[in-house]
Each structure stands twice: as C-alpha cells, then as structure tokens.
Structure 1
C-alpha cells in the first residue's frame, strides 16, 4: 500500500499554439500503477541531466520511459495509447519480450526499439512508442488514430531492462523533451510543456514491497513473484524487501517491521552509488521457537538529504 508521499514538481506551462498537446502514452495512474523511470537527457556532453537538472536519465536517452512495477503487471496487460491524433507511419511486431543483456545484445542490434509504432502529426511532429509486448501491436501503417486509441501493450522487447513504453517526441527529426521544449533545461523554470495535463515529477521512488522467508533474488523481485501470501509460524526467517528506482548515492532506505508484540525490526540502509533500479531486504532469522502469530506490517521510507521522497507499506499474516 502506498501512502502517496512523493516529491512533486507541478508543471503548469502550456504548449504553444503550434505544438501538439499530448496525453499519457500508457493507460495507468502515475505514482500508483506506473511511474516515470527516466526522462530525456538534456546534457549535451557525457554527463546526465533531466529537465529539472536531476539525474533521472542516462547519457544520450532520447525519450521518456513510462514503466509498470513488475513483469507480472506487464503480463497482466497494460495498454499503450496514442498521445495525440495522427497517422501510423510504421510498425514493428514479433520481437521477443526478454530482459536485455549481453546474451541477446546481438539479436537486438538494429531493433533496439523492439516492437513499436511511429505516429506522424501535423507541422513535422511525430511520436514513437517502443518496447511493446510481442504480438500486441494492433494498428497498421497508414491508419488514422485518435488520442487515447490503443496501439498495443507495454512490454520488454528490444533494448529494455524493465517493462515500460519509451515515448520519443520529435519535430523535423530533432528530439524534443515534452516536459520542457526549450533548447536548454533551466532547472527551475519550464519554458513550455507539451502535456495536456500537468504531470508530477518524482525524484525517485518505491515501486513494490513484500514479505518472504528469505532474501529473494533480484529477478524474482522484478518478476513480481517474490512476495509470499502468508508465512508459517515456523518460517526460517521473516524478511521485508523493497524495489526502488532513481536511487542516489547517500540516499537512505529506512525499513521497519512491526509485529503482534511490537517493533520487530528496524534498519537504515545507505546507498553507496546512483542506481536506476535497485532492491534491498532486511529481516530476522528464526530463533529456538516459533514466530508469534498475527499480522506483521512493513514500512519502507526513501530519504534524500533527510527529506522523505517516498513511502510504501505492506503486510503479511503469520499463522
């Protein structure tokens, strides 16, 4: 359960009359069932800078990544939708959904976008939607679509390491950041946004959390299958884990567990480096007797320079 304590920056600048007005490219609720993992890289050199001068990007990133929490959520089906009315210029389908890595880099070469769609709009504008689920693309070249029409579903095809849709916006072939169309990121002042509605900026956050009886593998956490439904009273351990994004060096993850008899565990974990996606886990091993039966509540808080960035809670029953 999320309590909704996010670091927000409200974007109130409106598009110029000649610019397209964009809706979200994904059918979800930002901050609840999806989140923005990375933005356009505004640094012209080898550094990284998003439109707020934060670090939610990577060198040379040319779009905005709208992500779903886990592979399990992806498989359940999350629609990719047209951000604006336009005509389909091109499509690709048939690329396998799998986490990108050294073992499949050669197979993905030249198809880094994976399964995707390109839409052409007026006045030289176009939008591109990448990494869609294999077999989900439902539009054809030459077809006219309206804002909100379903193009396919979120996947992890092409050069993708987490399930998301990568939205690129271009005008006359040049990349445009939909959050700030100015030529330079001004950090504290947005020149013009292309979004139909203001979108909140989260400086990092917590994606998913759960309990299990061991420290889980990262693959299981990303799959969304690591959490146990309940634990027996003779479980080998009670472990709380969390999946997070946008971690910065010196951030603190504060993990606490409260059980039927009071405070069960508390630990602060400081991050030693920037990490786009990460997980942490903490808990206690069983002693000589069984665990007290009842409800165990876990809470994780992400802190940056002493300020709370995000908070998430979860529960499990021991019986």
Structure 2
C-alpha cells in the first residue's frame, strides 16, 4: 500500500464503532436516527493513538482527499483507522467498544494476529477478525482487524453503547495493530466525520461534528498531525519497516548515530528537526522541511562516527515538528553507546 500501510476496504459489508459519549448523533438528513449516541470506537486507555490517515473519501478523478479536502486518507479507503502507540500497548490490550446500542449480526474470530508483510491473509478475509452490529433504521457498524480470541459477543446478542466487544488486533489485511471502523446507512458507506456518503464532495468547513459526539469531535479535530514513531537506529532505516528500529537502545561506538521519525498528517512547509546530544555535548542538529502534504512521512538523520568512534555513555535524541514557528509535536528518546 501507500504510505499509510493500512488495510483495504473490509471484506464484510458492514462497519465499526467505539466508546460512549454524551451527545446524540444525527441522521445525515437531520432527523434523529436509531444510530444515536455514537462516539469513537475505542475505550480511553493508555496506548491509544488518535485516528490518523483514515478519514474516508477519495473522489474519482481527483487526488485523494479526506472530508475536509485534505490528504489524511488513502485511495479507496472506506473507513476510519485507529492505531495503537506501539507493540507494548498492543500486548497490554486496547478495548474496542460498541459506538451505539444494537444487535450483533455477525462475528468472525480465529484469524491470526500477523502482519501481511509476514504472512498473507486468507482470500475473502481482508477484515480479519471482526464484529458487525445492526443499530436499526438502516444503520450498521463494523469493527475489523480485532485481536484473535478477544471477541466477547455473539450473533443475536444485544449490546449497549460503550460495551466492550473485543480488542484492537493485527488480523486480516493489515500491517500494524489498528481498528478499522466503518459506518453504513441503507447499505451506503457513511463518513462519520461529516455524516455524508463517501461520494459527497469534500468541504473545508471546520465547524461540523458529523456522527461523533461534540467532545470526541474536538479531540479528533486536534489529532490531524502527530509524531507517531521515532527513535535511534542501528543502521539504515527501511521506510517500509521503520518500527523495526524503535527498540534500538544500545548503540555501537563505531556505527553512525541515526534518529528516525514517522509523522502523520504533515503539511507542506512543516519542519522536522533532529537533534542528538552525547556525553560531550551536541553531536547533530538538522532540520528537514516537508515537501508536500503527507498521510505518513518517514525521515531520518544522523552522523557518521569520528575516526576513534563515539565516546561511550548516554545519548539523547530530540525530534520536534514545527508549523509556522509553532511546536506541534515532539518526542525524546535515549540510548547508550557501549564501549
């Protein structure tokens, strides 16, 4: 896939949901719908990433666009993705909950939690493990890529808004742990960010909450840009596998010192800065301007070792993201150079 490395449209014709909040969702036409009290699909917990790159809409004949005419989407992506921070958060478990009350009409479990870069997914099982909920009045949600063995509901079971139904997983056609959340009304895909069909034209207005509750909409609105990964690397960082380097906390004195970072929702003109300091002070300080709007943007910088190698001790890496002179993201990491 492209930079986002997310799943294709789920194999099931249904959608997904999340935690309960205090505001009523409305039918796109304005009348109260059975799909009321809709919120986001994840219970608040440590390790939950804000949604990134998954606002669905790609207008035919145009560059990919999200509901606000931005670039936080991929071509033909028909849902909203919520990813977890890292492997530790995935192992701990991030609960997925029903966005609204309804009846479970379908579930699938037993698909392994393995990245498609390691193992191909079974034909017709793009969505991996998942749950489908019918909310009445034509509203349906689907929760895809759930963790194997985590689903706690059965077909025919009534669920309440905010009730846990499983955990974020890595099953199906996916490269990293995340929840793929879909909404349909009358069998038409609906964008929860503006409560309109995916075929509707995008709009630049920032005053709409869509199907999200007001509080959640405000959180999601602030989540458009973030540093979602970064750390020291022991060598060249493959853009296709940047997270393979995240655990590098022990570095060799004769190897280059490299910092890598992954940014979600970067815009043209944003400045990504890398700075490394060691036992004897500053080692490296450089900045990289983003050359365009990016769903995901991965970059790295660093310095070759001096002839006698790096002095042993603790090194500190600082990754900062700036927009129009304002700091909008930062991450600090440390590692130790071994003698």
TM over 0.5: yes
Q: CA–CA distance in 1 between the matches of 2:256 and 2:118?
A: 35
Q: Aligned match of 2:70 in 46, 51, 54?
A: 54
**2:212 matches 1:195:** yes
Q: CA–CA distance in 2 between the matches of 1:219 and 1:42?
A: 24
Which whole-Å deviations, capped at 9, do the CAs of 1:97-148 have from their partners, x for residues lacking one? 22235972xx433221111001111322111001112222221101111222
**2:105 matches 1:89:** yes
Q: SS in structure 2 opposite 1:281?
A: strand
Q: SS in structure 2 opposite 1:35?
A: coil
Q: Aligned match of 2:234 in 180, 196, 213?
A: 213
**2:302 matches 1:283:** yes
Q: What pairs up with 1:145-224 in 2 under 5 angstroms?
A: 145-182=159-196, 183-196=200-213, 197-198=215-216, 199-201=219-221, 202-217=223-238, 221-222=242-243
Shift of 1:64: 0.6
**Counterpart for residue 25 of structure 2:** 15
Shift of 1:161: 2.3
Shift of 1:267: 2.1
Q: CA–CA distance in 1 between the matches of 2:92 and 2:61?
A: 38
Q: SS in structure 2 opposite 1:194?
A: coil
Q: Does the 8 Å contact 2:105/2:133 carry over to 1?
A: yes
**Counterpart for residue 135 of structure 2:** 121
**2:330 matches 1:316:** no
Q: SS in structure 2 opposite 1:75?
A: helix
Shift of 1:184: 4.0
Please report the RMSD computed on the Cα atoms of aligned residues, expressed in angstroms. 3.1
After superposing the two structures, state which structure 1 stretch, 47-56 or 246-255, moved more.
246-255
- Does the C-alpha gap of structure 1 residues 114 and 20 become closer, same or farther in structure 2, counting only changes over 3 Å? same
Structure 2: which 5+ residue stretches go unaligned? 1-22, 27-31
Which whole-Å deviations, capped at 9, do the CAs of 1:67-118 have from their partners, x for residues lacking one? 11334532332221212221111001122222235972xx433221111001
Which whole-Å deviations, capped at 9, do the CAs of 1:19-40 have from their partners, x for residues lacking one? 522222123459x641212234
Q: What pairs up with 1:27-38 in 2 under 5 angstroms?
A: 27-28=43-44, 33-38=48-53
- Does the C-alpha gap of structure 1 residues 102 and 259 become closer, same or farther in structure 2, counting only changes over 3 Å? closer
Structure 1: which 5+ residue stretches go unaligned? 1-12
TM-score norm. by structure 2 comes to: 0.77
Q: CA–CA distance in 2 between the matches of 1:33 and 1:102?
A: 24
Q: Does the 8 Å contact 2:128/2:171 carry over to 1?
A: yes
Q: Aligned match of 1:228 in 248, 251, 256?
A: 248
Q: Does the 8 Å contact 1:181/1:191 carry over to 2?
A: no
- Does the C-alpha gap of structure 1 residues 318 and 119 become closer, same or farther in structure 2, counting only changes over 3 Å? same
**Counterpart for residue 299 of structure 1:** 318
Which whole-Å deviations, capped at 9, do the CAs of 1:3-48 have from their partners, x for residues lacking one? xxxxxxxxxx973333522222123459x64121223433431432
- Does the C-alpha gap of structure 1 residues 68 and 214 become closer, same or farther in structure 2, counting only changes over 3 Å? same
